[in-house]
Amino acid sequence: MVASSSADGDDAGVADVRAAMAAELRSGGGAGSTGPLAAVCDGCARLLPVDGASIAAGGASGMREVLYASDEIAGAIESVHDTLGEGPAIEALTERRPVLVANLPADAARGWPVFAAEIGRRPVGAVFAFPLHSGAAIAGTMSLYRRSPGWLAPADLATALRLVDLATTAVLAIASGDEALEGLSLPRAVVHQAAGMLVSAHRIGVDEAMARLRGHAFAADVDLADVAAEITTGRLPPEAITS
């Protein structure tokens, strides 16, 4: 499990993941290939304080297909989700928001008792599940796990959101067999970092965090990127963005 990285290190790391994913797509990572997904999941374990990751395709109905798991434990977590029909990834998929469970043994029992009992047989301390959005549609989920309980720091969460964007692109590319790379442009990192800070500060979903950022920018008559820069540089505390 790696430690949190600096912002510059995260930028370089995410760029490396993007390059690796693009290389997999160019070399034949179309329909049926897991190479682009492996590149993203490997990047998660390298850049974030997590031990493994998995990616599943699915829609708002909750039906999913596991496409890639980085290791046996990540695969087992997905299997328990699909067998029981409950858990963080199912909730992330159906409610279209990140579900961050920092202490799985303590917290899962309240929301998903059967899932908690089953996953308790495995060395899993925390699970972080993210929906993969494509416009108004949802393409699936990406789940991260760590063996020991603990939160993702705001900087780690911002990096995770950027990797979620890459995972979404990979899932869509694989589903369509499209190896063109026009969709691989990275989002504005500062906006995603600011959104991650709001998610962490207010325990809200990414959609609500983005809505609050846009609402604040509109009310202040400034560009969204300028608001994000104010937050990420500490001039505007994320706690101040309340609506």
CATH topology of domain 7-186: Beta-Lactamase (3.30.450)
pLDDT for the residue 8: 52
pLDDT, tens digit, 9 for 90 and up, residues 147-199: 999 999 999 999 999 999 999 988 887 776 544 333 433 335 677 778 888 99
**Residues linked to residue 180 through DSSP beta bridges, in sequence order:** none
* Cβ count within 10 A of residue 195: 27
DSSP string covering 190-227: HHHHHHHHHHHHHT--HHHHHHHHHHHHHHHT--HHHH
Question: Could you tell me the pLDDT band of residue 215, with boundaries at 50, 70 and 90?
Answer: confident
pLDDT, tens digit, 9 for 90 and up, residues 45-88: 999 999 999 999 887 655 678 899 999 999 999 988 887 888 99
CA 185, CA 25: separation in Å to the nearest integer? 14
Q: For the chain, what is the mean pLDDT?
A: 83
Per domain, the residue ranges of the chain are 7-186, 190-240
Whether the CB-CB separation of 101 and 88 falls below 8 Å is answered with: yes
